[in-house]
Each structure stands twice: as structure tokens, then as C-alpha cells.
Structure 1
């Protein structure tokens, strides 16, 4: 058994930011990430962020990742394990990992779970045909490896990710034939949707994919219109030829490790699904186990970063250490997080957080 002060599971935006403030408070930190490089989803995001200067506005995602990683350089109390998968979280903060064909056990005084989220999928006939991808997979193929997923693509989902990835496909020379959205309204920012429409891509609302068609790979899709009760409208079937289909219908918080230690969870649709119940310091119902970022509710990366900074400070407090600028930083990051949630897309998050903490008294 190898002993550590703090283990952070996940080296995405929230995990990196938590490490920064915890290290500045004097905590010895181990970051474990299954990917070959730190940064999480940021490393494949080529679009520029919104927000304020302090939240890296007008900076591309992969450049934000570089900045967050640079913040951790020359930290003698930091250890990083990449290409390492956490396979278990057990009572007493025991973390088991699979690293280079070795199974290793760690135990820490505190754990931060910053595992992020996984992509949701869509149920329709033949949805396992080759050529059907999640939006994250397409971003990885194009932005990390320079591989096109196809020549003619339909995007399913008009949230910010669906709109942004559609634009990235266009930039790469792929023909985006349509964006299909089951809801009656577009889910993402209007600025993204307007840019897509100006480029001649139709956004088909109240529409879904009924069937994928093809033998060895996808060749076409059948779409149908939906009524106000989300039921198929008869005689509205249309065929669209494609050689790739991109699914972007939302994300689910990765709560699995939290569930392994029987931490309390709730199903909160506004936050993306099952999420751990936390107090205002991001502490779960299991003492010394904390959660931040998309693992506790789906938001923008900017919010995940603010949550990470705060959680690192809270964990330092829990371990009896204090950041030299603790009070000022907590006030600053809480103000920025509240500002991010004050926009129209933050209403859902606020509703979800209110439901999450409703009737919870263990952390008072």
C-alpha cells in the first residue's frame, strides 16, 4: 500500500485546478489519469471559449489545457500518473489502479473524484453500424489525429457541442447535410446556431432518427417528425444519405467510483443523471471524499475549473492546511461560479443543485 495526502482521480480542467490550489496550500498531491496527456476534453477543443478574461475567454480549449498544465510545473509535492486507469475506490480512501500491467493500491487522507462525464447515446434501429460516432469521438479523430469520420455527415443534437462540432466538420471539408434535434427548439447558444444556418446547414427541430440503413457501414438514415408529446407523426419519414452519423445528445456524470463506496447519490435530470449528493464544500456523504466538475453535474468547462479551484481549497482546509490567500480566493471563485450560472443556460444547473441539496442535512 502506497500512502498519499490527496489523490485526484482525473486530470481534466476541474482536477488540474483542484491540484493547483491544494498544492499552493501545501498539500502533497497525486493526479491519476487514464489518458496519455492531461487536460481532459480540453485537449480536443479547438473553439474559443466565452466568459471573462479570468475564465480564458477568447482562448481555444487546447490552449487552456496547456495553461492549466503549466500552472503545475515545478511543483515538488506533485506526482502525476498518466496512462493509468483507476479500477476501484474503496472505504478508507483506498484507490486501486492498473498501471503498465501492474495492479497497485494507494491510500490517501483525501480523494477528489474529477472523472468528468461520458456521452449519452440514442436508441434507434441499427445504431451499432460502423460510421456512427459520438461527438467526442469525432473531435478526437479530427482534432487530435487529423482523421475525417466521413464525407457526408448528419449531426444529431443541437446543443453547444453539436453545433460546435458541426462547424468543425465544415472547417475540415466535410459536408454536414443537416442537424437533427428532437426538441422543438435549438439547445445551444444562438450565436453558434446562427453561424451554422448562415453556412446553409438546415436545423431540423422536432425531428429524430428512426433507423440507420446500411450493410457493412452506415449508408443512410431515416428521420421522422415528432409531435408535442415526442411521438412519431405518421407519414413524415425522410431519407438522408450519409457515410457518417454523429450523436450529440448530452452527457452523463461518471458517478461509478462514487457509487462503489456507497456514497449517497440522486437522480437529477437537470444535472445529467445520477450525481453524488454533496455539501457546499463539495464533500460527499463519505468523509474525506470530494467531487468536482462534470462528475457532479454537466456544465461548461469554465464552471468545472472554478469548482476545481474551490474544491482544492476545501480539501486543504479538511487536511488542516490553509492557503495563504484562502478567504480571498474562495470569495473570488464563488463569485465567478455564480456569474457563470447567472446566464440563461445556468438556470437548469441552479434548479438541479437545489434539488440535489434538498432535504440533505448530513453536511450542515
Structure 2
């Protein structure tokens, strides 16, 4: 099969990019380094916000199942699982480790949707067994059905932190509290309210000072922070716990973008280094597009819409225009503007102004 478009990463953005590019008539290769498709969606049991077009009211795991099914049934999409993309070169050749073999492919266009990786924190004994990233906790619970601990302290009160804390409660775990360095909860209040109704304390303006335990985690010392983010002397508090979950942000997985020569910029509002791109998500390399968290950390809903835009745009450039691609593109751009229009989108929009080379109407 001729490969017109290579989509790297089969999370929410990659699945949508492959789906819409193929529906427009393009031949797509979808490469995923894991042994299953879906990315973060396969561990998200909460219901999505937004509109019907962003699968509002549906759970991430159900959205993943729908998108995977649509991609697997589409004859214009070839799917490679356990496929690690190793490099993208100036002549357009892409090297891939697939099923134990070293392969090369030469697509006309590439959409990079590799997502993001969890950040960690520096504190004493932060390598003790029992200390996890929030994504690891979700994978254990929601994918494999394994409880990560009996009593867990959550660090981070953004959307991921408060959602995972509530999922832990639902699974029967004792949530000892949520520790947040900022002066207020950063996640949606509807999620934080669920924790508060269950009596879970939220320690704002606090951070972790040290973890304790001999062979595994036994407890955590937290401390108060002043307005300059410095530790307040004498504010230490010990909390007994055999699990510590870190939900302290994500960093875009941009290695392939760096390696391929795309121009990058550090933008803290978007999670770190991200590529410069135009309003159609095309990077400074004309054959490479981006979608999802690799271009700036946002909610999964925004990642899916970006995937749709990238898939439709690239397909249209290659002459694949069925059904009405341009009408669908205009609709998707409107969806993305709506998702970013509220107070939660201010930070993202401020970051995008630093990297978007030209706006598209």
C-alpha cells in the first residue's frame, strides 16, 4: 500500500488524524509504539465535557473503543503496533523498529502526535517504591485492575490530580489528601467538590518536603509555602501513606521534532519546548504537522480536534477531498476556538501566541 500520510502516535490526536485523513481519501499508516491503541484514553473512566462533537458525556475508554474500531475497519488505514519511530530524515525517509525488524518508509506527509510524558519532583527519597506518576496509577487501576496502594497522598490539584484522586476513592483506596503548591485548586471545581464531599483534605500552598520508608514508602512530610514559594519554617506535617501520586504536569514528547530539524521554542504555558507551527499545525518543516500534547499540553478534547484538523488539512493538500474537507476544517477550527474560549483556555491561548506563525480563519 502506498503511504501518503504517516501518523506517529495512536492516542486521541493520532486516532482522529488517521480517521479523518482516511475518510477524506488518503492512505494512512498509523504507527504506535505501545501494544495497544488509544493512548491516555484507555485509562480515562471519567466523562468528557464539551459538545457532542467532542464526545461530551462519554467516558474516555468508550471514546477510545469507538475511534479504534473506526480506524481498524477503514481499509485505507494500516496500523503498526509496537512500532518505535527512530528518526525522520531530510530526504523524507522515516526509520521504524517494527516487529523486530528495521523498516524504512517514505510518506508524503507526517503528522506527529506523540503526546507528552509526566513530570516528576525533587524531594528526599523520591525514588522509594510506592511513588507513582498519575498516569501510572491510572494504568494500574483502570487498565490492569490493580490497586497501587491502600492509602495514597495526591500531589497536584489540577484536573488530572483531582480526577485521579476521585477514581482512587471509587476503587476503595483511602485518599489521605491532595497537596497543591498553588493558592487554589487548578482543576475544575466539579471534580474538587467530589473529593471535599468525601472529606478529603486539600492542602493548598503546600508541597512535599520528603518521603519516608525503609524498603518502600511509609509516610510523607509536607510543608507550607509562602507567597514566594519558599518553605515556611515549622510548618512540616507528617502524613502516613503507602502511596504517593504525582500529578505535577506533563512535558511534550518532542524528540522526533528536534531530530527532524523543526524550529522549537520554550513556552511554559504549553508545558515546555514545542514546535513553531502555523494555524494549520504545519511546522517549519513543510512535510511535518503536529497535533495533541506534543504541540502543547491541553485536554484530550482539544487534542482530538487538533488531530481532526491536521488529518483533514494534510489530506486536502494531497488532493483527497471527500467529503467536503474545507467545510469540515472550518467546523473543527470553530470547535477548537470554543474549547479555548473560557477561563481555562487563557493560559493555552497566551502560550499559542508565542508559537503560531500565522492564524487561519
Quick check: TM above 0.5? yes
What are the ranges of 5 or more consecutive residues in structure 1 without an aligned counterpart? none
Which residue in 2 is equivalent to 1:276?
275
State whether residues 316 and 323 of structure 1, in contact with CA within 8 Å, keep that contact through their aligned partners in structure 2.
no
In the alignment, the residues of structure 1 paired with residue 263 and residue 110 of structure 2 have an alpha-carbon distance, to the nearest angstrom, of 16
Which residue in 2 is equivalent to 1:246?
245
1:1-364 map, 5 Å: 4-357=3-356, 360=357
In terms of mean alpha carbon deviation, does 132-141 or 313-322 score higher?
Answer: 313-322
Q: How far does residue 27 in structure 1 lie from its aligned partner after superposition?
A: 1.0
Which digits, 9 at most, give the CA deviation of each residue in 1:281-325, with x for residues without a partner? 111111111001111011111111111111111111222332331
In the alignment, the residues of structure 1 paired with residue 227 and residue 136 of structure 2 have an alpha-carbon distance, to the nearest angstrom, of 31
State whether residues 154 and 175 of structure 2, in contact with CA within 8 Å, keep that contact through their aligned partners in structure 1.
yes
State whether residues 218 and 240 of structure 2, in contact with CA within 8 Å, keep that contact through their aligned partners in structure 1.
yes
Which digits, 9 at most, give the CA deviation of each residue in 1:38-91, with x for residues without a partner? 111000111111111221111110000011122224322210001221122222
Q: How far does residue 351 in structure 1 lie from its aligned partner after superposition?
A: 0.6
Which digits, 9 at most, give the CA deviation of each residue in 1:101-151, with x for residues without a partner? 222121111110000111111111111111100000000000111111110
In the alignment, the residues of structure 2 paired with residue 123 and residue 105 of structure 1 have an alpha-carbon distance, to the nearest angstrom, of 40
In the alignment, the residues of structure 2 paired with residue 209 and residue 337 of structure 1 have an alpha-carbon distance, to the nearest angstrom, of 36
In terms of mean alpha carbon deviation, does 2-11 or 213-222 score higher?
Answer: 2-11
CA-based RMSD of the aligned residues comes to: 1.4
State whether residues 42 and 65 of structure 1, in contact with CA within 8 Å, keep that contact through their aligned partners in structure 2.
yes
Runs of 4 or more, structure 1, over 3 Å off, are none
In the alignment, the residues of structure 2 paired with residue 76 and residue 170 of structure 1 have an alpha-carbon distance, to the nearest angstrom, of 42
Q: Secondary structure at the match of 1:230?
A: coil
Which digits, 9 at most, give the CA deviation of each residue in 1:197-253, with x for residues without a partner? 110000000000011111111111111100000001101111111101000001111
| Count of residues in Structure 1 that have an aligned counterpart in Structure 2 | 359
State whether residues 72 and 79 of structure 2, in contact with CA within 8 Å, keep that contact through their aligned partners in structure 1.
no
Q: Given the two structures, how large is their TM-score scaled by the length of structure 1?
A: 0.96
In the alignment, the residues of structure 2 paired with residue 221 and residue 147 of structure 1 have an alpha-carbon distance, to the nearest angstrom, of 22
In the alignment, the residues of structure 2 paired with residue 94 and residue 254 of structure 1 have an alpha-carbon distance, to the nearest angstrom, of 20
State whether residues 46 and 60 of structure 2, in contact with CA within 8 Å, keep that contact through their aligned partners in structure 1.
yes
In the alignment, the residues of structure 1 paired with residue 167 and residue 277 of structure 2 have an alpha-carbon distance, to the nearest angstrom, of 36
Q: Given the two structures, how large is their TM-score scaled by the length of structure 2?
A: 0.97
State whether residues 2 and 27 of structure 2, in contact with CA within 8 Å, keep that contact through their aligned partners in structure 1.
no
What are the ranges of 5 or more consecutive residues in structure 2 without an aligned counterpart? none
In the alignment, the residues of structure 2 paired with residue 17 and residue 144 of structure 1 have an alpha-carbon distance, to the nearest angstrom, of 22
